[in-house]
Structure 1
């Protein structure tokens, strides 16, 4: 597994436990699990949409695949950011700071 033995994996797990603490580990695991679930969901959607898009793109070529890719990237980004603990608070704080900047200007 990635060239890491059981000893190295144990040391990494121990370091993660020391950094984040036992209370935050379930949150982190839940966030990572949700992110993986979203990746699989999007991958499944992409694989099921691919034959339809290939037929459509063979008839007319345009900027649609690029726009679709951008939308999918944004959707995945939003879902992943929602799943990671603490990131939502940071995003909310950034929005508040941006609002304050707009008011000050």
Structure 2
């Protein structure tokens, strides 16, 4: 058997492996960059709310609201809801979701 076909097969296999690896790296980089951009945007939005005095003052009211399944609605919590919805009018979240987010900050 000639060495030429074996050499050609080995060369093709090594090139195919390199192409697959580089495609995987490009795909992985694109996914990681997309996740990083999303995380940074979310982090920026939540850090601005985390540092806000109105939202911080509503933490106890938010705990009461969540614990009572929406029965207890404190004035500080209502103020925080208003502030959050004013800052992010595109946000489509229920009062319960907002209260839980305030507790998570």
* Interval containing the TM-score (normalised by the shorter chain): 0.3 to 0.5
Q: Which has the higher helix share?
A: 1
Bigger relative contact order, structure 1 or 2, given CA contacts below 8 A and separation 6+? Answer: 1
The higher radius of gyration belongs to 2
Compute the TM-score of the two structures, normalised by the length of structure 2.
Answer: 0.38
Compute the TM-score of the two structures, normalised by the length of structure 1.
Answer: 0.38
